[in-house]
Chains A and B, each alone.
Chain A
């Protein structure tokens, strides 16, 4: 495995206790959600490369364990903010793939009526305050949602997803400072896929990643972002302490972006070697969980295959729905500018 300089492996492992029935259901649910993201993103890539999708998309493939592991630790009314690489977070927080496809294709049936697109999907009903195309741009929004939750006494928690590229943005540090000062229930989840677009983070980030949050006295952990059991267990703990009023946390999840920065980023050899890509794919989050489920005899391969087939067909139907759905009426162009 290409070990990124500056990261330190933590020995956070889920306890080896035998899984109960409920745990098995949770694991299968997480498996299904990861497969849903993977299938969705594969279809997005296909739609883009066959010129059926306008604009660009930033694929989340390879990082599924983080979105799903964290969101499965949240309630549906907890908040998340997401990034330009946000399809995974959106699905993990409960969005339906057909409405998502419609948004990606700029159709009226999309989550934002086609006005947001891939980089701005918001799904308020599931607590998703929106993907954000400004790197690090949602840190304040997540902290603000946590501020509301605290002031209104709702018990909600906010999760701010961002990539390690956002560590170059000052807003993040201003926000972490206030979150810790005021003990806001916000969890900063740093998805370290190692590349700020096309540049390795060793070239952009001085010091350690966790040291940034530790400087504010924020509770910090760094984990293997490919093992969803680790992600989910840690996320549950961080959510619980945030809900209890113990304040923010900073979670670094080490992961890898299988595809390029966006769907059009195909020739990547100039910034990362093919061998590195292949090495990381040996630690695929879906395979890791499947192996655990089978290895522990918690379920059968046939069950996993069934899930896979069902999701594949759901995604195919969703894309078909979106392709056939109507575009917004031209009169929509100047609605929703002001509330």
Chain B
């Protein structure tokens, strides 16, 4: 378990992300950040506030509202010596950039027989319950995870976000980095000294013996809260965070499943054909003979995210729903 030794320094997820960008901008002159309102405004979420002061508008670049254009420009720049970090404000706007990511960025290395490469990071957001309604609340990381040639990172803590973003920027491939916009204020220990976290290594966020809850991004916090409640009724839950949907640390998921024999997979993307389906399949395949129950999946409800808070809160897994599912699975209902 890689609980950070932050020497007591606690910062928010947003600050951790900004620190990662600042360190990489300082380290490598070919890194630049481009997106809508990323400079003086510091993004719509104020995550990059102040970054332009140190690096200037030549490296932290406000763009037109042209998602396909800035993504395409990033692909071309990445192919020719730069390391772009493209900021797509809402993950829902992934719809606009799919050609550039799926048909261009993901395939150029392969189509060119390995001659060209696209070392580029696309930062975007995910997560509901911000009362932003159907076009600003989706978690569409499954879409990118489906496409060979792309790596996908979905961090759940400030520590992970910083170390993984630095790795993503140094990676030689297109990497999509999903930040849950409800977690920017989440606090956690992050050391002063530099560190990186390799892509594709899962992390056990809480050790347990009765049931494994595989959780991603904001669902890690939801599952940790559920685990606290489960402990109160004598169920020991292990929380495993894959941290990336690709590369996927299959062994970590399978090993935990073998250890506990019961598994729930929780992810904020739509449940239908989603990340939970893939992870459940990996576990069912790899730990079949050790399982005492079918692998259960919990994702966002298969509806457009509604605006009304009363309705929206029904669409995503919560500590209570995860608790109930775990209790049932452990036969403690």
What's the Cα separation between A113 and B148 when bound, in Å? 18
Asked whether B110 lies within 8 Å of A129 as measured between CB atoms, the reply is no
Q: Among the listed stretches B79-87, B122-130, B224-232, B264-272, which one makes contact with chain A, having 4 or more residues with CB under 8 Å of it?
A: B79-87
Asked whether B64 lies within 8 Å of A112 as measured between CB atoms, the reply is no
Asked whether A336 lies within 8 Å of B80 as measured between CB atoms, the reply is no
Answer whether residue A140 sits at the interface, using C-beta atoms and an 8 A cutoff.
yes
Asked whether A145 lies within 8 Å of B111 as measured between CB atoms, the reply is no
Specify which of B66, B69, B99, B149 lies most central, judged by the most chain A CB atoms within 10 Å of its CB. B69
Answer whether residue A79 sits at the interface, using C-beta atoms and an 8 A cutoff.
yes
Collect the chain B residues with CB atoms within 8 Å of residue A181's CB.
64
Identify which of B70, B75, B111, B113 contacts A141 (C-beta below 8 A). Answer: B75
State how many angstroms separate the Cβ of B93 from the closest Cβ of chain A. 13
- In chain B, positions 94-121 with a C-beta closer than 8 Å to chain A are 99-100, 103-104, 108-119
Evaluate whether A148 and B80 lie within 8 angstroms (CB atoms) in the complex, with A141-B104, A177-B69 already known: yes
Asked whether B73 lies within 8 Å of A144 as measured between CB atoms, the reply is yes
Evaluate whether A115 and B81 lie within 8 angstroms (CB atoms) in the complex, with A174-B66, A174-B69, A178-B66 already known: no
Answer whether residue B50 sits at the interface, using C-beta atoms and an 8 A cutoff.
no
Collect the chain B residues with CB atoms within 8 Å of residue A336's CB.
109-110, 112-114
Asked whether A115 lies within 8 Å of B110 as measured between CB atoms, the reply is yes
Asked whether B32 lies within 8 Å of A151 as measured between CB atoms, the reply is yes
Answer whether residue A266 sits at the interface, using C-beta atoms and an 8 A cutoff.
no
Q: Among the listed stretches A13-21, A29-37, A116-124, A249-257, which one makes contact with chain B, having 4 or more residues with CB under 8 Å of it?
A: A116-124
Asked whether A115 lies within 8 Å of B113 as measured between CB atoms, the reply is yes
Answer whether residue A269 sits at the interface, using C-beta atoms and an 8 A cutoff.
no
Asked whether B79 lies within 8 Å of A175 as measured between CB atoms, the reply is no
Identify which of B75, B84, B104, B149 contacts A338 (C-beta below 8 A). Answer: B149
Evaluate whether A178 and B64 lie within 8 angstroms (CB atoms) in the complex, with A144-B77, A144-B79, A339-B172 already known: yes
Evaluate whether A115 and B111 lie within 8 angstroms (CB atoms) in the complex, with A339-B117, A339-B119 already known: yes
Answer whether residue B306 sits at the interface, using C-beta atoms and an 8 A cutoff.
no
Collect the chain A residues with CB atoms within 8 Å of residue B110's CB.
115, 336-337
Collect the chain B residues with CB atoms within 8 Å of residue A149's CB.
80
B96 to A, closest residue via Cβ: A170
What's the Cα separation between A240 and B190 when bound, in Å? 51
Asked whether A129 lies within 8 Å of B69 as measured between CB atoms, the reply is no
Interface flags for A176-192 (1: CB within 8 Å of B; 0: not) read 01100100000000000
Evaluate whether A134 and B72 lie within 8 angstroms (CB atoms) in the complex, with A112-B113, A129-B116, A174-B66 already known: no
What's the Cα separation between A111 and B110 when bound, in Å? 12
What's the Cα separation between A144 and B58 when bound, in Å? 14
Answer whether residue B74 sits at the interface, using C-beta atoms and an 8 A cutoff.
yes
Answer whether residue A335 sits at the interface, using C-beta atoms and an 8 A cutoff.
yes
What's the Cα separation between A130 and B68 when bound, in Å? 19
Answer whether residue A303 sits at the interface, using C-beta atoms and an 8 A cutoff.
no
What's the Cα separation between A158 and B74 when bound, in Å? 15
Interface flags for A68-85 (1: CB within 8 Å of B; 0: not) read 000000000001010000
A143 to B, closest residue via Cβ: B73
Evaluate whether A116 and B99 lie within 8 angstroms (CB atoms) in the complex, with A142-B76, A147-B73, A171-B69 already known: no
- In chain A, positions 146-167 with a C-beta closer than 8 Å to chain B are 146-149, 151-152, 158
Interface flags for A85-102 (1: CB within 8 Å of B; 0: not) read 000000000000000000
Collect the chain A residues with CB atoms within 8 Å of residue B78's CB.
144
Collect the chain B residues with CB atoms within 8 Å of residue A158's CB.
76
Answer whether residue A137 sits at the interface, using C-beta atoms and an 8 A cutoff.
yes
Collect the chain A residues with CB atoms within 8 Å of residue B276's CB.
none
Asked whether A112 lies within 8 Å of B69 as measured between CB atoms, the reply is no
Answer whether residue B157 sits at the interface, using C-beta atoms and an 8 A cutoff.
no
Collect the chain B residues with CB atoms within 8 Å of residue A132's CB.
104
Collect the chain B residues with CB atoms within 8 Å of residue A137's CB.
72, 99-100, 103-104
State how many angstroms separate the Cβ of A154 from the closest Cβ of chain B. 8
Answer whether residue B71 sits at the interface, using C-beta atoms and an 8 A cutoff.
yes
State how many angstroms separate the Cβ of A179 from the closest Cβ of chain B. 9
State how many angstroms separate the Cβ of A277 from the closest Cβ of chain B. 32
Evaluate whether A145 and B80 lie within 8 angstroms (CB atoms) in the complex, with A112-B115, A181-B64 already known: yes
Asked whether B108 lies within 8 Å of A130 as measured between CB atoms, the reply is yes
Answer whether residue A139 sits at the interface, using C-beta atoms and an 8 A cutoff.
yes
Collect the chain A residues with CB atoms within 8 Å of residue B82's CB.
144, 147-148, 151-152
B63 to A, closest residue via Cβ: A178
Answer whether residue B218 sits at the interface, using C-beta atoms and an 8 A cutoff.
no
Collect the chain A residues with CB atoms within 8 Å of residue B103's CB.
133-134, 137
State how many angstroms separate the Cβ of B74 from the closest Cβ of chain A. 6
Identify which of A114, A122, A140, A152 contacts B68 (C-beta below 8 A). Answer: A140
Asked whether B112 lies within 8 Å of A337 as measured between CB atoms, the reply is no
Identify which of A115, A120, A134, A174 contacts B99 (C-beta below 8 A). Answer: A134
What's the Cα separation between A175 and B99 when bound, in Å? 14
What's the Cα separation between A149 and B77 when bound, in Å? 9
State how many angstroms separate the Cβ of B32 from the closest Cβ of chain A. 7
Binding site for A on B (CB under 8 A): 30, 32, 58, 63-64, 66, 68-82, 84, 99-100, 103-104, 108-119, 148-149, 151, 172-173
CB-defined A-B contacts under 8 Å, sample of 19: A112-B111, A115-B111, A129-B80, A130-B111, A132-B104, A134-B104, A137-B99, A138-B104, A140-B76, A141-B72, A142-B76, A144-B77, A144-B78, A144-B79, A147-B82, A151-B30, A174-B69, A175-B69, A339-B119
5 tightest A-B contacts by CB? A140-B72, A144-B76, A174-B69, A113-B113, A141-B76
